[in-house]
Amino acid sequence: MNDGAEGAGELAGFLPYQLSVASNAVSSLIAERYRKRFGLKIAEWRVMAVLGDAGSMTQRALTAATVMDKVAVNRAVKVLEDRGLVARVPNPEDGRSHLLALTGEGRGIHAEVMPLARATEADLLAGLAPQEEALLRRLLGALRERATSLGAANQEGPERV
């Protein structure tokens, strides 16, 4: 099978590699579309997307929800704060911490980006039949759950794996 990975040998057929390459290709496409229209990098958009759905949250919760490294989240939040798209608001449950939330301008951009995100998703899935799309979503969910389960088992100790 020729999947564009000539010279990669066994690596070309290695599932984690294939998932990474596919993810990077999709992320690059999305990043280019968001960068051109909104000046957003993928990490910044991911932070905005999560805050747009969740409302407000702590930076720790945001890091977990975006499934990104805390340094990447911190950088993205800083850029978004500097642009006036995200603000820190007092946390009513813990006076020592803050919540992050989209500003009015941030919510406006979020509302504009979502149709672009849906259009990009439609472009990506256009070559699949509806049952193939459903299968793809089911399989990706199953792989994510299994990886999460294996990761949790590894944290409990190698003897449990």
pLDDT digits (tens, 9 = 90+) for 60-117: 999 999 989 999 999 999 999 999 999 998 888 887 889 999 999 999 999 988 888 8
DSSP state of 4: S
Give the pLDDT confidence score for residue 18 in this predicted structure.
Answer: 92
pLDDT digits (tens, 9 = 90+) for 22-69: 988 988 888 888 888 889 988 998 899 999 999 899 999 999 999 899
Residue 4 CA to residue 157 CA, distance in Å, equals 38
8 vs 20, 24, 27, 28, CA distance in Å?
Answer: 14, 16, 21, 21
DSSP state of 11: G
Confidence band of 148 (pLDDT split at 50, 70, 90)? confident
The answer on pLDDT for 8 being more than 70 is: no
Phi and psi (nearest 5°) for 88? -90, 130
Largest Cα span, the chain: 57
Q: Report the pLDDT averaged over residues 122-149.
A: 94
